């Protein structure tokens, strides 16, 4: 068994969700719910149409999970329980902030999260840990600071230092921080997050692998980025993209430049049992729900062939 699979938690060992495959292929699918709708219950109902039982929580009813009043947690939990669904990950905005100094203009999407400076991040982590415990997931998604220029050795060393205390706290609290490679942040590739996770060297810090973000960062997602970070990967985001006028454009799964056949086969061969969580960013005609529907249909068609 690959070493990274030894740390899989109860949530990662839940029964796999069957696709509509006549070959009986099974996989655990998840969606970041606001990629369908801010109306949480409606998003869950759409997910169920495609056999998806895992919900990744980022923004609900127009408010980021980090800012959502706790009296709304009970409404969300009831909606999940009523549908027999579980939370795959708390998609927090932790460390989507400036590494140095006071908050500046956001360098990327904040998804309705309040701006916070570096000194406020441990308080944010406390709240996200409470949310993770409440919703029964061990995973909290985190980032590596707004990119304000090229990543240097000194900046990378400061990022490692910044993660030491949060990773130790996460480990004490029985949760895992999933460091996502994000092209608007300093660590946009699989190779970069792997270096930092290795340097922090804590069971409280692992990787959320996003092949689409790696593509946007100029890395070959599969095999290059995946091979670099696979030993740390506990959660996988799914999106597809092409380059248009030297900028990434998000498209339906299977219509872009990412090798998802190779990527999914590699995950299967490596014994990955976590979630594939759709974060499509694809908006045909500006319609988030339609983009997610197309991508879920494409995934359910693709997965049986893997």
- pLDDT tens by residue, the chain, 306 residues: 333 334 343 333 333 333 333 343 457 999 999 999 999 999 999 999 999 999 999 999 999 999 999 999 999 999 999 999 999 999 999 999 999 976 677 666 777 778 889 999 999 999 999 999 999 999 999 999 999 999 999 999 999 999 999 999 999 999 999 999 999 999 999 999 999 999 999 999 999 999 999 999 999 999 999 999 999 999 999 999 999 999 999 999 999 999 999 999 999 999 999 999 999 999 999 999 999 999 999 999 999 999
Measure the CA–CA gap between 272 and 239, rounded to whole angstroms: 18
Any bridge partners for residue 26, and if so which? 18
Beta strand ranges found along the chain (DSSP E): 17-18, 26-32, 54-57, 59-60, 63-64, 86-94, 139-142, 176-180, 205-209, 233-238, 240-244, 247-251, 275-278
Distances (CA, A) of 200 to 91, 154, 186, 189, 190: 21, 15, 16, 17, 16
Express each pLDDT in 129-165 by its tens digit. Answer: 999 999 999 999 999 999 999 999 999 999 999 999 9
pTM: 0.91
CATH of the domain at 129: 3.20.20.150
Listed residue (196, 206, 188, 108) closest to 159, CA to CA = 196
Q: What integer pLDDT is reported at residue 222 of this predicted model? A: 98
Considering its fold, how many domains does the chain have in total? 1
Per-residue pLDDT at 113: 77
Residue-range definition of the domain harbouring residue 116? 3-305
What is the model's pLDDT at position 63? 97
**75: three-class secondary structure by DSSP:** helix
- Least Cα distance to 264 among 300, 50, 272, 17 occurs for 272
What's the rounded Cα separation, in Å, for the pair 274 and 11?
A: 8
């Amino acid at each position: 068994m690959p070493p990274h699979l030894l740390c899989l938690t109860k949530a990662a060992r839940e029964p796999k969700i069957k696709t509509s495959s006549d070959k009986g292929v099974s996989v655990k699918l998840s969606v970041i719910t606001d990629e369908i709708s801010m109306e949480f219950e409606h998003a869950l109902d759409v997910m169920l149409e495609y056999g998806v039982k895992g919900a990744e929580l980022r923004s609900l009813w127009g408010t980021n999970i980090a800012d959502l009043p706790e009296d709304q947690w009970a409404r969300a939990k009831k909606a999940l329980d009523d549908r027999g669904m579980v939370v795959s990950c708390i998609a927090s905005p932790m460390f989507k902030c400036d590494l140095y100094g006071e908050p500046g203009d956001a360098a990327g999407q904040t998804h309705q999260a309040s701006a916070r400076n570096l000194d406020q991040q441990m308080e944010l982590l406390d709240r996200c840990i409470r949310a993770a415990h409440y919703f029964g997931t061990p995973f909290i998604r985190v980032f590596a600071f707004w990119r304000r220029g090229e990543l240097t050795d000194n900046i990378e060393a400061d990022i490692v230092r910044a993660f030491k205390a949060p990773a130790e706290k996460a480990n004490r609290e029985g949760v895992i921080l999933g460091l996502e490679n994000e092209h608007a942040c300093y660590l946009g590739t699989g190779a970069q997050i792997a270096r930092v996770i290795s340097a922090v060297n804590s069971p409280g810090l692992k990787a959320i692998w996003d092949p689409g973000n790696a593509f946007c960062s100029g890395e070959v997602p599969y095999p290059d980025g995946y091979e670099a970070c696979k030993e740390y990967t506990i959660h996988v985001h799914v999106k597809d993209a092409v380059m248009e006028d030297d900028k990434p454009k998000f498209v339906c799964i299977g219509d872009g430049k990412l090798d998802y056949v190779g990527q999914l086969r590699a995950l299967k061969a490596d014994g990955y049992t976590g979630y594939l969580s759709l974060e499509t960013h694809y908006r045909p005609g500006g319609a988030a729900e339609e983009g997610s529907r197309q991508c879920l249909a494409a995934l359910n068609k693709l997965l049986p062939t893997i």
